[in-house]
Structure 1
């Protein structure tokens, strides 16, 4: 019986062929299910040899033959942000179901770095690219063409030349703020918004503003900080330094909300007794906040699956928005179920 090859190197198709008593071409026909038929008994001998030698086809070599590596790229703004961590998990799970591998990279929420990755990742032989963008509407025409199927996610606006999708952030923000105003009777809601270079208000800020107008409420203070926990902590300090402390706050990301909750707790402020808080993202981490965080929830699994499916669309432009629902917990003032 042939001795398996040295475990420090991969077995080859030729070794599989020798063990099975067939030609390398027959090995290829069995593994690729064609183009020529192979007798069932012969095919079984090949599969037995593959298992004995732990043979794994060289994807790069196969790509040269059939034009596909079975790998897709994923660019994320941050791997520490709980929403993008959840999106990454959902995307990789969807890719696995299709037999695809994922190469992920972080742009550190820097647009220039995102653009560099859009240009560099295709050199690693990926078949398609999904970009969780930090672009704003004014930036979208500047997206580099990576020369392969590309889908932009985290996009509440269309992106010229590519298929794009994202949460309906205006609808989600309005849903969260209206809950504070109508269900809990607050007369105003402070806004903790992300720092951006955009000249126009973000869609989350527009949703907050529309909710305030629709409920004839007073416009609350706005604090602009990074979309992370430290930003939320800074926001808590700024809000508590105001002459009149707000009774309710809407944070435009769960990460900000977590920092905000910690900052309020550190200052002895009770949530929701003194200040009610709602977030945006609806991550699972919110269930473990103190108190558990009420938040507008993005449909992560649906968006991840849609992004992967959009890679197979014909070249062109499209834009799809996904509605959010509200995960009601205790930080807003609702009692636990």
Structure 2
């Protein structure tokens, strides 16, 4: 029978502490704290290098929970977006993460998949984790923020063009941006301009549709055909097929998102038609895919990085604690080839921006 001796018993290794790191590096625990936390006091480069080497050799991992308890802050913000597979929202999330990191905050990213129940669940989960704030790109124009209010967690509505009393909101003037894109098509001589309009969970009126109508009315043009569908490539593809099958086929289309426009491009190409020769196209968002589609899309570009920085600042930056405000930023029309610009014989107005 095998008998286990005491020498054969291995006791679990205790966690490495800040004192262990200080002893190994030959410094005080306060110096280790300054290096780990990036302050508040500066540490000489040579000393910091010794501490970082000790952290690496010993495998020290700061206790985030203890730090949060001491500071009264988790140094984390939450972000809820509708669709992380959409390049525009991926770009937006990346910009929020960068802005948070600049202020020393980590980011918890959640995706609602365009589903209201999942959005509310994500908000409750973030609230239960006691994040320092939540940036919400909601599927609703008027989202439910009760879970955050009851937990006294501040929130900023991002990609939000409407008014939100009592909350900070950051967005663009959707109507002005859409009008600019449709005005550009009118400047190319188009008089039958369709709208491919994305739908939202509550079926609320989207101000991009209002901008499309404003442009047509101001030019004395009749309302073109409208097709509604998802803010996706497949939604745009289906919209394009329906518009092409219309007895009064439009000569130009304004799509309410770049993803829809990508789908519309496929539908037009499959029909053996040319963009912009047979049908011109403009869209909204300013994602990377708009630049690399064929032809490249003329699109209303949102100032993603500026919006993200404003949202994070309102939560944990220089704007924290100030009276809630609505921040509306200008958009810019990125002119490429899908509208007819750059094509021999085509003409149109120059690039502009909303005010």
Does 2:162 align with 1:157? yes
Which digits, 9 at most, give the CA deviation of each residue in 1:207-247, with x for residues without a partner?
11101111111210000000000000100111112111100
Distance 1:94 1:33, change over 3 A: closer
| Preserved contact between residue 169 and residue 203 of structure 1 (Cα < 8 Å) | yes
Q: Distance in 2 between matches of 1:38 and 1:265?
A: 62
Distance 1:204 1:10, change over 3 A: farther
Q: Distance in 2 between matches of 1:181 and 1:161?
A: 39
Does 2:94 align with 1:59? no
Query: Which of 85, 90, 99 is equivalent to 1:85?
Result: 90
Does 2:158 align with 1:148? no
Distance 1:265 1:67, change over 3 A: same
TM-score of the aligned structures, taking structure 2 as reference length: 0.84
Query: Which of 296, 299, 310 is equivalent to 1:306?
Result: 310
Cα RMSD over matched residues? 2.7
Give the Å deviation of 1:114: 1.3
1:222 corresponds to: 226
Distance 1:111 1:288, change over 3 A: same
SS in 1 for 2:85: coil
| Preserved contact between residue 119 and residue 144 of structure 1 (Cα < 8 Å) | no
Distance 1:143 1:123, change over 3 A: closer
Count of residues in correspondence between the two structures = 326
1:108 corresponds to: 113
Deviates further, 160-169 or 184-193: 160-169
Give the Å deviation of 1:25: 5.7
Distance 1:109 1:197, change over 3 A: closer
Deviates further, 42-51 or 254-263: 42-51
Does 2:342 align with 1:335? yes
1:176 corresponds to: 181
Q: Distance in 1 between matches of 2:192 and 2:71?
A: 60
| Preserved contact between residue 118 and residue 144 of structure 1 (Cα < 8 Å) | no
SS in 2 for 1:272: coil
Deviates further, 58-67 or 220-229: 58-67
| Preserved contact between residue 79 and residue 134 of structure 2 (Cα < 8 Å) | yes
Gapped regions of structure 1 (runs ≥ 5):
1-7
Which digits, 9 at most, give the CA deviation of each residue in 1:70-97, with x for residues without a partner?
2211111001111101111111122222
Distance 1:43 1:264, change over 3 A: closer
SS in 1 for 2:305: helix
Query: Which of 68, 73, 76 is equivalent to 2:81?
Result: 76
Deviates further, 189-198 or 284-293: 189-198
Q: Distance in 1 between matches of 2:271 and 2:42?
A: 73
